[in-house]
Structure 1
Amino acid sequence: MSSVSTHVLDTGVGQPAAGVPVRLSRITDGRDDVLVGSGTTDADGRITDFEPGLQPGKYQLWFDIATYAEASGQSIFFPEVTVTFTISDERHHHVPLLLSPFAYSTYRGS
């Protein structure tokens, strides 16, 4: 069974993004997402303890950037970021998010 972690880095200020609320949901064939886990990034910008044992399927990470921007005194163009991905194997899936005031990017890490 698979697991998921994330790491949010604020490239605009050159440091980890601490205090970002994040939700992990499983996307079902119906329109009802199933919340798998939630948390807030730690001082290093990480969440490593999402629910282990994920079955294959489509998942989504939702990042509450507005809360982070307000707490850090920044103006960030995107108030939220969603990253949808597919788990098809039993490996660990690391999904980093790189932020800047007017852009973001993500990739599958390890």
Structure 2
Amino acid sequence: MTDLTTHVLDTAHGIPAAGVRIRLFAAGAAGGPLAEAETDANGRAKIVPANGVAFDSGSYDLVFSVGAYFGAKGAAEPAPRFLDDVVIRFGLRAGAAHLHVPLLISPFGYTTYRGQ
């Protein structure tokens, strides 16, 4: 079974982004999220499908609620926020041992890459 993890870092404040809500969807599929998680105090989260089944090969969307995170931090940006949800669409091969998707965020930008 593929192990899917993420690490969210708040580059605006120089800290791990604790409490970021994350949802995982099959890209282009109707219906609700396959998994939901929230980053811990170190900005890390493990994404586990709610039904406990292995990931199929295909495209997936990780949706990070960064607007809510920065709003809770007291960011003074007026509504609507420049960034609300950050969506990362990625491909996954069934049977892959591990996939790590880090996200570095600020109220006005983000970057991601395939981590180890």
TM-score after normalising by structure 1: 0.87
Q: Distance in 2 between matches of 1:54 and 1:70?
A: 33
One-letter code of the match for 1:43?
A
Q: Distance in 2 between matches of 1:4 and 1:108?
A: 11
Q: Distance in 1 between matches of 2:16 and 2:7?
A: 8
Count residues with an aligned counterpart.
108
Q: Distance in 1 between matches of 2:98 and 2:57?
A: 12
Q: Distance in 2 between matches of 1:33 and 1:8?
A: 26
Structure 2, unaligned runs of 5 or more: none
Per-residue CA deviations over 1:43-102 (Å, capped at 9, x if unaligned) read: 111112423621211111001112101111124631110000000251211101001232
Flag the structure with higher strand content. Answer: 1
Report the counterpart of residue 91 of structure 2 in structure 1: 86
Q: How big is the alpha-carbon RMSD for the aligned residues of Structure 1 and Structure 2?
A: 1.8
Structure 1, unaligned runs of 5 or more: none
Match of 2:33, SS state, is strand
1:108 lines up with 2:110 in the alignment: no
One-letter code of the match for 1:12?
A
One-letter code of the match for 1:20?
V
| Contact 1:65–1:79 under 8 Å retained in 2 | yes
Per-residue CA deviations over 1:18-43 (Å, capped at 9, x if unaligned) read: 11110011125xx4155210011111
Percent identity, aligned pairs only?
41
One-letter code of the match for 1:78?
L
One-letter code of the match for 1:82?
V
One-letter code of the match for 1:70?
G
Cα 1:44–1:68 shift into 2, 3 Å: same
TM-score after normalising by structure 2: 0.83
